[in-house]
Structure 1
Amino acid sequence: MDHTRLEAIDVHVHIETDGRGNMSLPQAFLEASAKHFGADHRAPTLPEIADYYRRLNMGAVVFTVDIESATGHPALSNEEIATAAAEHADVLIPFASIDPAKGRAGARRFRKLVTEYGVRGLKFHPSIQDFAPNDGSAYPLLEVAQELGVPALFHTGQTGIGAGLPGGGGIKLGLSNPMLVDEVAVEFPDLTIILAHPSFPWQDEALAVANHKPNVHIDLSGWSPKYFPPQLVRYANSLLQDKVLFGSDYPLITPERWLRDFAQLDLKPHVRPKIIKDNAVRVLKLDQQEDK
C-alpha cells in the first residue's frame, strides 16, 4: 500500500459476508443493528469494498467478528479475508478476529495469520464475544500480537448489535467499558491498542485511558462527528491529537458522510490530517511495511 497517494485511511470497516450467503452475525443481530443506525442493511463483499474505497482514494482496515463460542454462529474465514485482501493490497489492510474462547489454539492460528497470511492486527468485540478484556481469556492472543508488533482493536461503549431485541440479544454492555482495557494496557505495555468508537456512556474513561497509557489510541467510528461529545473533540484537538484515528464503521456509516460531518468540527488545521491519515500510518506501521 502506497499510503502517500491516499487521501485518508479508515481504520474500522466490517466484512459481513463471504459472498456465498454466509454472514458474520445472526440475521436478528444484523437487522437490529441496521435499525439502530437508521440505515438499510447492506453487506458488500470484500471485492466490492475494495472497489468502493479505491474510488474514494482511501485505505481501509477490514475485519469480521468471530462470535462462535457465545452464539454458535459460524465465523467467516480470516484466511479467506486475508487472501482476498492481498489481492487488493493497494487499499485494504486485513485484521483477524478470533474468539478468545479458542484459547491457545486460537493464538497459534493468529500467529500463522500474521506470519503467513499478512494479517496486520486483531479485532475484539467483548460484548458480543462475551468476555471481559481483563479476564485473561484473550491474553494468549494478545501475547502473540505484542510479540509480532501488530495492534489490537477493542470495541468500546454501547453497541447497536442486539439493540432493541429482548434482553439486548443477551449482549452485556459492561464488557465494553474501556476501563477494562486499561488493565490490558498495563499487562501488555508494548502492545498497540485501539479503543473503537466514542465510548458512550464511558467517554471520559476512554479519554483518561488514552491520555494515561502511551500505547492506547481511539478510533472515531460508529458515530457521525456531529454527535461527538464535546470533551472528545476537545481532547482530539489537543492532548490526543496524535492518538485519534478516522474510522467510519462502514457499511453502517459511510466514510463520505463521516468526513462531511467531520469537516464541520472546529479543529486546528494541522490536527485534521493527523486524524484522517497520518496517525493511522504510524499506528499501522505502513512506512515500515513499505521499507521492507
Structure 2
Amino acid sequence: MAVDELVAIDVHTHCEVSASGRSSLSDELHSASGAYFKVAGDRKPTLEEMAAYYRERRMAAVVFTVDAEHATGTEPIPNAEIAETAAAHPDVLIPFASIDPFRGRAGVRAARRLVEEYGVRGFKFHPSIQGFFPDDRLAYGLYEVIEETGTVALFHSGQTGIGAGVPGGGGIRLKYSDPMRVDDVAADFPHMKIVLAHPSFPWQDEALAVATHKPGVHIDLSGWSPKYFPPQLVRYANTLLKDKVLFGSDYPVLSPDRWLADFAELPIKDEVRPAILKHNAARLLGLTESPA
C-alpha cells in the first residue's frame, strides 16, 4: 500500500453482502438502519465495488462485517472471504475480522488463524448486536490473541442505528456499548490497540476520559456527520487526543464524500487535520509512510 499517495484512510467501513448475495443483517434490521441513516436506494456494494469506490477517491478503507450469529441467528459473511478479497486489492482494502465472543475456544482459534494465514489486521466488536459487555471474561481469549498479535480491537460504542425504530429495537440493547465497559479491557490488556468507534452518544465524556487515560485507546469519528459532533469531541481532537482520533465514515450508510465535506467545515487545526485523516491510522495499523 502506497500510503504517501493516499488522501485518507477510512478506518470504518462495512461489508454488508457476501459474494453469494447473503446479507450481514436480517431484512428487518437492514431496512430499519437504512431508514435511520436516510440511505436512498441499494446500500449493499460488493467488496469489489468497494475497492473501486475507494480507489477512485485515492483512499484506503478498513473493511469488516459483524458476526453476531449467537444473538441474531443470522450467519455472518465469512471473514476469510473479506480477507481474500482485500488481499486482491491491497492498495485500497485493509481486512478486519469479526468473531462472535460466544464462539468460545473455536472463535479464539479462528482469530489466530485469520491473523497468521489471512493477514487480518484487526477485529470488530459490536457489543449491542452481539449481546455482551466488552469486559465480560467471555471475550478475553479473543483479546489475548489480539494483544499478542499486535492487531486492533475496534468496539462499537454509543447508540446504534441498527434496530432503531423496530419494536423493542429489534432486541438490541444499548447498555452493552457504554465505552466505560472498555476501560477494564484497556487496563487488563495494556498493550492491546483499541478503537472506540463513533461519537459515543450518550456517553461522549466517558469515551474521552477512557481515551485520555489509557494510552492504547483511540476514537474513530464514524457514523455521524461531523457537523453534529459534540463540541467537547472537537476540542479534544484538536488537543489532548490529536494523535488518537481517526477518520471513519461508516460506509455504506454514510459516504466518505459527505463526511469529508462536513469535516472541512470544522474548526480543526491545520496541523491536526492530516493526522486525523491519515497519519494516526497509518501508525495504528502499522502502515509504512516515507520519512518526512
Classify the TM-score, shorter chain. Answer: over 0.9
32-41 or 194-203: bigger deviation: 32-41
What pairs with 1:5-154 in structure 2 (closer than 5 Å)?
5-40=5-40, 41-154=42-155
Task: Give the letter aligned to residue 50 of structure 1.
Answer: A
In 1, Cα distance between the equivalents of 2:188 and 2:264?
A: 37
C-alpha separation in 2, matches of 1:94 and 1:202: 28
Is 1:195 the counterpart of 2:200 in the alignment? no
**Secondary structure of residue in 2 paired with 1:122:** strand
C-alpha distance in 2 between matches for 1:238 and 1:135? 32
Runs of 4+ in 1 over 3 A off after TM superposition: none
Q: SS where residue 218 of structure 1 aligns?
A: strand
Structure 2 match to 1:244: 245
Give distance in 2, aligned partners of 1:117 and 1:54.
22
Amino acid across the alignment from 2:14: H
Q: Distance in 2 between matches of 1:137 and 1:155?
A: 17
SS at the partner of 1:65? coil
Residue 210 of structure 1 and its aligned partner are, at CA, apart by 0.2
TM-score by length of 2: 0.98
Distance (whole Å) between structure 1 residues aligned to residue 25 and residue 38 of structure 2: 18
Deviations 1:169-194 (A, max 9, x none): 00010100000001100110000000
Which amino acid counterpart does residue 97 of structure 1 have in structure 2? S
Aligned residue identity for 2:133: A
Using the size of structure 1 for normalisation, the TM-score is 0.98
User: Any idea what SS the aligned residue of 2:169 has?
Assistant: helix
Return the offset for 1:19: 3.0
Q: Secondary structure at the match of 1:164?
A: coil
Q: Using the TM superposition, name which of 95-104 and 17-26 deviates more.
A: 17-26
| Paired position in structure 2 for 1:4 | 4
- Name the amino acid aligned to 2:157: T
Distance 2:81 2:93 in 1: 14
- Post-superposition shift, 1:272? 0.1
Structure 1 unaligned segments of length 5 or more: list them: none
Residue type matched to 1:18 in 2? Answer: S
Q: Deviations over 1:83-142 (max 9, x none)?
A: 111000110000000000001110100100000001110000000000000111111111
Size of the aligned set, in residue pairs, is: 289
2: CA distance, partners of 1:27 / 1:89: 31
RMSD over equivalenced CA pairs, Å:
1.0
The percentage of aligned residue pairs carrying the same residue is 64
Query: For residues 26 and 87 of structure 1, what CA distance do their matches in structure 2 show?
Result: 28
- Distance apart, 1:38 and its partner CA: 1.1
Q: Partners of 1:93 and 1:260 in 2: how far apart? A: 23
**How far apart are residue 257 of structure 1 and its match?**
0.4
- What is the SS of the residue equivalent to 2:288? helix
* SS class of match (2:195): strand
In structure 2, the residue matched to 1:168 is 169
Q: Which residue of 2 aligns with 1:283?
A: 284
Distance 2:72 2:151 in 1: 27
Q: CA deviation at 1:201?
A: 0.2
Q: How does 1:247-258 map to 2 (within 5 A)?
A: 247-258=248-259
> Hey, what's the Cα distance between the residues in 2 that align with 1:30 and 1:163?
10
Measured in 2, the distance between the counterparts of 1:51 and 1:169 equals 33
- State how far apart, in whole Å, the 2-side matches of 1:169 and 1:267 are: 37
Structure 1 position 267, deviation (Å):
1.1
How far did 1:56 drift? 0.2
Give the Cα separation in 1 of the matches to 2:211 and 2:83. 29
